[in-house]
Structure 1
Amino acid sequence: MSQGPTVVVAGVGRFGALHARVWREAGARVVGLVDTDPGRLAEVAAAHRVAQTDRDLAALLARQPADAVVVASDEASHADLAVTALEAGSHAFVEKPLALSTVDAQRIADTAAARGRQVVAGHISRFAAPMARMRARIAGGAVGTLCVLRLRRDFSRAWYASFGDRVHPVWESCIHDIDLAISFTGRPVRRVVATRSAAAGEAAPSVVSALLEFDGGVIATIESAWLVPAGAPGTLDDGPLALDGAIVGEAEALGLGGVIKQRLVSDALVEWTGSGAQVPDLSLWPEEDGVVGGALRREVGYAVDVFTGRRAPDVMPLREACWGVATAEAIVSSLDTGDPVRVTAPA
């Protein structure tokens, strides 16, 4: 593949449209857009000057081949769209989660291997600078023998009301920290036990707490609560993807030789204005000198390099994304039954 890979974006909601922008800014050529909403499709195509659009990915790729497909559609469609892209000869960038079942994750991996294509899962937290440093320091022995991980990510309660039941919250919020725990250990999870609460409503569990036992002995706790009140300082209120609300989280690694702690929201920058208080997130997708930067830009740049053969898929190995799917699936099962669940990680 030459410089400036051609890209089709499948799913052009708010995040898909942001992907179209960031891939262009990273040097890719967006040659096609796919979505089931014709109005949204026309709007984003006009904004990004893309001529080829379709409701069906296979149909579009038949007339407009692409080096890569960015899958940014609803979670339930990720596996089928990824396989469609791979079978058409394209690499695939798949927003998190890679799939909603271990079977589908393995189907993606098997198709990628058979077609000789690369798959990058969109676990953006791996590319946030603080998390990347935390991973590097753990790998470099800064905490000695790693023993325990504690990861927490809380969302605004208003988000639960608007989209909290679109997909099980384990796949929406916990999957980020499942993936971080896997990246910090480099090992698959062997057993999970989880509990939940419907504190914010009955549509889906709004509070989840899970205990993970890793191959090798590390223990991790994963917690998520969609209970941050409306009065909390906003973290994503402006920028290229404005969300009215907050994501609040922490990550902690404890070893025999040290401890590393990281807060998702830092009070190093606080804004008090007539509209309230904000603690702007500067790590995910801040706008810098007119382009999108931060973790999203690094993630897309990494994917471009992997797809063009300039680097190995070392930061986000497909195998580890499959481990994350197997772990999330086991947590959902444990939440349903209340029992511990053994995890059979894909090879």
Structure 2
Amino acid sequence: MTVPTVVVAGVGRFGALHARVWAEAGARLVGLVDPDTARLTEMAQAHRVDETDNALAPLLDRVRPDVVVIASDEASHVGLAVTALESGCHVFVEKPLALSSTDAWRIADTAAAHRRQVVAGHISRFTAPMARMRAGIEGGAVGTLCALRLRRDFSRAWYLSFGDRVHPVWESCIHDIDLAISFVRTPVRRVVAMCSGAAGAAAPSVVSALLEFDNGVTATVESAWLVPATAPGTLDDGPLTLDGAIVGEVEVLGLAGMFKQRLVSDALVEWTGAGVQVPDMSLWPEEDGVVGGALRREVGYALAVFAGRRDPDLMPVEEACWGVAAAEAVVESLRTGLPVEPARR
């Protein structure tokens, strides 16, 4: 694979960002897929792409790319991924890999059968602080790992806008479930979760879950889509703008030490006529005219894996499957009020 060819399936806000980043990373965009024909035309003109389609399979027959990047709605991930893999393409699929453990393992098995690679787009793994934490854990800096605490809160307006498109566990908690797995590197064996009745009909937007891993490490995962509009914005400008905020923390507790990091740093604060901003500098900041940060590192990693230049060690597909199984168990525990054991192979 010299200059890898890429098709992007799903060209909404995040798909448009992916199209830009993959091109900036050295790939050649050869096709775009989306059910919205007007959006397809707009994006094809912006990226000078000749081939577009409302469906993936006929486009793959025409262009035969090396890679398919899936940034479409969550429910479509499994069908698009399987189609791409069966056509001989490597696949990058935005989180979550799938909405059920059965579908997640179907993607993994299809990739193995066709000797293709799958990288799940869990961007938090590729932020510099989380990478340093993982290296510290693996290097013994905190001694025996005992527990993790992870919290991620989103703007209330985001829940009202798109947060209920799927169960919020798949939008918010899945990030921190995956981070916990990346630190522990074993499956989750038991989950118990609850939601706050104070949020009324939007109760699933306020979730607390306790995860127990196979090696006995525990992790608390909390998420609330209740950050008020008065909070300082974190993603209000840049290559992908979202009017609102992400507020969160990660703690790693071991017998010999502890790590603690805010997910969105407040090292840079801007007080201007537009109000107070705390711009995120880790996810996809624009640097010297190109998109950098965790998203660029994630895409660079995926390209290296697809080209065979490195092993799929930072985001193994089996760990993405463990995350889907754990998130599935959280949703079931919220439904029943009981502890749930995530599905196993």
| Shorter-chain TM band | over 0.9
- Residue 345 (structure 1) shift: 3.3
Match of 1:331 in 2: 330
The change in CA–CA distance for 1:52 and 1:201 in structure 2 (over 3 A counts) is: farther
- Residue 202 (structure 1) shift: 1.8
8 Å CA contact 2:195, 2:203 repeated in 1: no
User: Do residues 228 (structure 1) and 227 (structure 2) align?
Assistant: yes
- Residue 267 (structure 1) shift: 2.0
- Give the % identical residues: 79
1:101-250 alignment, distance < 5 Å:
101-197=100-196, 199-200=198-199, 202-203=201-202, 205-250=204-249
8 Å CA contact 2:148, 2:253 repeated in 1: yes
Using structure 2 for the length normalisation, give the TM-score: 0.99
Per-residue CA deviation, residues 34-92 of structure 1 (Å, 9 max, x unaligned), is: 00000111111110000000001001001110101000000000011000000000000
Match of 2:13 in 1: 14
Per-residue CA deviation, residues 176-216 of structure 1 (Å, 9 max, x unaligned), is: 00000000001100000000125445256110000000000
Using structure 1 for the length normalisation, give the TM-score: 0.98
Aligned to 1:205, the other structure's residue is in SS state helix
8 Å CA contact 1:164, 1:204 repeated in 2: no
Per-residue CA deviation, residues 90-113 of structure 1 (Å, 9 max, x unaligned), is: 000000000000110011011101
In 2, Cα distance between equivalents of 1:156 and 1:135: 28
Match of 1:276 in 2: 275
Aligned to 2:267, the other structure's residue is in SS state coil
The residue type paired with residue 110 of structure 2 is: T
Match of 2:86 in 1: 87
User: Do residues 340 (structure 1) and 333 (structure 2) align?
Assistant: no
CA RMSD of aligned residues (A): 0.9
Match of 2:265 in 1: 266
User: Unaligned regions of 5+ residues in structure 2, if any?
Assistant: none
8 Å CA contact 2:264, 2:282 repeated in 1: no
Per-residue CA deviation, residues 106-142 of structure 1 (Å, 9 max, x unaligned), is: 1101110110000000000000000000111011111
1:248-327 alignment, distance < 5 Å:
248-327=247-326
8 Å CA contact 2:153, 2:225 repeated in 1: yes
Runs of 4+ in structure 1 deviating by more than 6 angstroms, as ranges, are none
In 2, Cα distance between equivalents of 1:268 and 1:194: 33
The change in CA–CA distance for 1:204 and 1:162 in structure 2 (over 3 A counts) is: farther
Per-residue CA deviation, residues 204-232 of structure 1 (Å, 9 max, x unaligned), is: 61100000000000000000000100000
User: Unaligned regions of 5+ residues in structure 1, if any?
Assistant: none
8 Å CA contact 1:200, 1:226 repeated in 2: no
In 2, Cα distance between equivalents of 1:344 and 1:57: 30
Aligned residues: 345
Per-residue CA deviation, residues 13-42 of structure 1 (Å, 9 max, x unaligned), is: 000010000000000001000000001111
The residue type paired with residue 156 of structure 1 is: S
In 1, Cα distance between equivalents of 2:202 and 2:153: 18
8 Å CA contact 2:81, 2:91 repeated in 1: yes
8 Å CA contact 1:6, 1:66 repeated in 2: yes
